[in-house]
Chain A
Amino acid sequence: MSIQPILIAAAALFSIGIYGILVRRNAVMVLLSIELILNSVNINFVAFNAMLSDVFLNGQIFSIFIITIAAAEVGIGLAIVLMLFRNRETANINEFDLMKW
Chain B
Amino acid sequence: MEAIDIFSYFLLLLLLLSGIKVVTTSNVIHAAIFLVFTLATTAILFILLSAEFVALVLVLVYIGAVIVLFLFGVMITRAPLGPNAELDNDQNKLFATLISLSIFGIFTYILLQTFDSTVVIREGTSTKLLGEILLSRFVFPFELVSFVLLGALIGGITLARKDNALMDEDQI
Contacts and interface: CB of A to CB of B under 8 A. Distances in A.
Interface of A: 1-9, 11-20, 22-29, 31-33, 35-36, 39, 42-43, 46-47, 49-51, 53, 56-57, 60-61, 63-65, 67-76, 78-83, 85-86, 91, 94
B120 A16 contact: no
B166 interface: no
B152 A25 contact: no
Interface residue SS majority, chain B: helix
A75 to B, nearest CB: 5
Given A57-B133, A76-B152, 18 more contacts: A1-B8, A2-B117, A3-B119, A11-B108, A12-B104, A14-B107, A17-B19, A23-B88, A32-B32, A36-B38, A46-B45, A46-B49, A61-B130, A61-B138, A63-B54, A68-B149, A72-B149, A86-B162
Contacts of B5: 1
B28 A29 contact: yes
